Amino acid sequence: MTDSEGWFVDDGAPIDAAATDELATRVREGAAEEPRAWPELAVAAGFVDDEDDYYDALRAAATAATRAAVAERERADDRQLVHAIRAMDDCQRTANELAERLAEWAGTVDDDPGTGIDYARELAAREPEPGRESIRSLAGRVAGLADEADDLRAFVERRTPAVAPNLAALAGPVLAARLISLAGGLEPLAKQPSGTVQVLGAEDALFAHLEGHAPSPKHGVIYTHEGVRGTRLEDRGSAARAVAGKLAIAARVDHYSGEVRPELEAELTERLETIQARADAESGGDGGE
């Protein structure tokens, strides 16, 4: 599309108004430096008979272009990670909830009942017993959901380093994928300041703080990072800021260049060691008093 042609003309000849896919491509890829009297130009070019027909054709092309853009985005590797990590969490949560229900039910007929997913696997593997078919069937469902969660985790662990190598190296594949999911994709995550990355997953606590009902949260899901979780409580805010800062940089590098930057991991390790050394020194000082 050029300023002189418009989205409805190709090499001076009008495009068939019924060729929606071709027109959608021109709408997505074309550009004009300034508005023009496109309806009148479309009629003059023989693309449509009148202004109403022009807007009908434009609406159809714009709708098709939007659908194509959405489909393309959903097929992107980072979106596949988003769906996978959410499905993994759903499978795991549902399996755990059903495992609790199963344990309560099986406990009414089993002399040695257990709990959790392992107990569900044990029940599912037992020989069928009269009157307990439904319990065994439910146990099989629980075990199947748990297996699906494991398979999805394996997929996430394989794919995340390819999609976001620096983020996966710093956070681990699962936490990296969860951050991408919470942000809505790698690009939105790359555009987030480190302070936002720090509290992703703690939105309820953050809103409560903004309303004056709770203290400001120190971290969200990055709590599962060893550099945060393994730090003493009073230093956890400093550790969370350090981790979030490097994760934000890693996400930007992954999205905008894709270059692997191993020095990011070394820098984060050094910063966390400094925080830990300070904590050890203060702890030693307290003990000597």
**Cα 93 to Cα 115: distance, rounded to the nearest angstrom:** 15
Q: pLDDT category, 97, cuts 50, 70, 90?
A: very high
Q: List the domain range (segments joined by +) for residue 108.
A: 76-163
In 3D space, the residue among 44, 30, 41, 42 whose CA is nearest the CA of residue 2 turns out to be 30
Tokens representing 264? 């990011």
- Let me know if residue 1 belongs to a domain: no
Burial of 53 (0-12, 13-18, 19+ CB in 10 A): middle
H or E, element range at 9: strand 9-10
CATH code for position 140: 1.10.287
Q: Tens digit of pLDDT for each residue in 36-58? A: 899 999 999 999 999 999 999 99
Query: 173 or 214, which is more confident?
Result: 173
Average pLDDT taken over every residue of the chain? 89
User: Phi/psi at 100 (nearest 5 deg)?
Assistant: -65, -45
Q: Is the pLDDT of residue 288 over 50?
A: no
- Do 181 and 281 lie in one domain? The reply is yes
Can you give the pLDDT at residue 233? 85
User: Dihedral, CA atoms, 246, 250, 253, 255, nearest 10 degrees?
Assistant: -140
Looking at 54, 75, 96, which one is the last position of a domain? 75
Rounded to 5°, the CA angle 119-98-79 comes to 110
Q: How many CB atoms lie within 10 A of CB 18?
A: 9
Q: Is the pLDDT of residue 65 over 80?
A: yes
- Let me know if residue 176 belongs to a domain: yes
**Averaged pLDDT, 267-288:** 79
- Do 217 and 177 lie in one domain? The reply is yes
Q: Tens digit of pLDDT for each residue in 106-162? A: 999 988 889 999 999 999 999 888 889 999 999 999 999 999 999 999 999 999 999
- Do 168 and 271 lie in one domain? The reply is yes
- Do 185 and 247 lie in one domain? The reply is yes
Counting the structural domains of the chain, the total is 3
- Do 152 and 176 lie in one domain? The reply is no
Q: Let me know: does 54 contact 43? Beta carbons within 8 Å.
A: yes
H or E, element range at 270: helix 262-288
Looking at 163, 182, 210, which one is the last position of a domain? 163
pTM reported for the whole predicted model = 0.72
Q: With DSSP H G I counted as helix, E B as strand and the rest as coil, what are the percentages for the chain, rounded to 5?
A: 75, 0, 25
Give 182-237 as a DSSP string: HHTSHHHHHTS-HHHHHHTT-HHHHHHHHTTSSPPPS-SGGGGSHHHHTS-GGGHH
Question: 């969490």: which residue's tokens?
Answer: 89
Percent of the chain surpassing pLDDT 90: 62
- Do 181 and 105 lie in one domain? The reply is no
- Do 170 and 289 lie in one domain? The reply is yes
Q: pLDDT category, 175, cuts 50, 70, 90?
A: very high
- Let me know if residue 183 belongs to a domain: yes
Query: Where is average pLDDT lowest: 16-20, 23-27, 72-76, 98-102?
Result: 72-76
- Do 92 and 172 lie in one domain? The reply is no
Percent of the chain surpassing pLDDT 70: 94
Q: Tens digit of pLDDT for each residue in 203-241? A: 777 677 677 767 777 788 999 999 998 888 888 889 999
- Do 66 and 88 lie in one domain? The reply is no
- Do 168 and 278 lie in one domain? The reply is yes
Q: Tens digit of pLDDT for each residue in 176-209? A: 999 999 999 999 999 999 999 999 998 777 677 6
In 3D space, the residue among 243, 247, 219, 248 whose CA is nearest the CA of residue 233 turns out to be 219
